[in-house]
Amino acid sequence: MRKKLTKEILEEWLENVRPFAYDGQVADYIPALSKQDPEDLAVSIYYLDGECIHAGKVENCFTLQSISKVIALALALIDNGEDYVFGRVGMEPTGDPFHSIYRLEQHRPSKPLNPMINAGALAVSNMIRGVTPDEKVGRLLSFIHEMTDDHSISFSREVASSEFETAFLNRSLLYYLKQHKVVTGSVEETLDAYTKQCSIELNVRHLSKIGALFANEGKDLHSGRQIIPKHFARICKTFMVTCGMYDASGAFAIKVGIPAKSGVSGGVLGSVNGFGGIAVYGPALDTKGNSVVGLKLIEMLSNRYDLSIF
* Residue 29 is among the residues annotated as catalytic for this protein: no
175 is in an annotated binding site: no
Q: Taking CB under 6 A as the rule, does residue 269 contact ligand GLU?
A: no
119 or 147: CB nearest ligand GLU: 119
Whether 271 has a binding-site annotation, put simply, is no
Please report whether residue 249 would count as binding ligand GLU according to CB under 6 A.
Answer: no
Residue 294 in the binding site for ligand GLU (CB under 6 A): no
Within 10 angstroms of residue 254's Cβ, the number of other Cβ atoms is: 10
Positive/negative CA dihedral, 46, 47, 50, 53: negative
* Whether residue 246 lies in the annotated active site: yes
- 148 near ligand GLU, judged by CB under 6 A: no
* 41 conformational bin, left if phi > 0, alpha if psi -120 to 50, beta if neither: beta
C-alpha span between 287 and 281 (Å, rounded):
17
Q: How far apart are CA 9 and CA 228, in angstroms?
A: 32
109: preceding bond cis by omega (within 30 degrees): yes
Task: Indicate whether 163 belongs to the interface with ligand GLU (CB under 6 A).
Answer: yes
Report the alpha-carbon angle 243-245-250, nearest 5: 70
Known catalytic residue at 178: no
Q: Is 84 annotated as a binding residue?
A: no
The answer to whether residue 263 forms part of the interface with ligand GLU (CB under 6 A) is: yes
Please tell me whether residue 247 binds ligand GLU under the rule CB under 6 A.
no
The correct pick among 44, 65, 94, 148 for binding ligand GLU (CB under 6 A) is 65
- Dihedral through CA 304, CA 258, CA 24, CA 243, nearest 10? 160
> Residues with catalytic annotation?
66, 69, 194, 246, 264
Query: Where do contacts with ligand GLU occur on this chain (CB under 6 A)?
Result: 65-66, 98-99, 118, 163, 170, 198, 263-264, 289
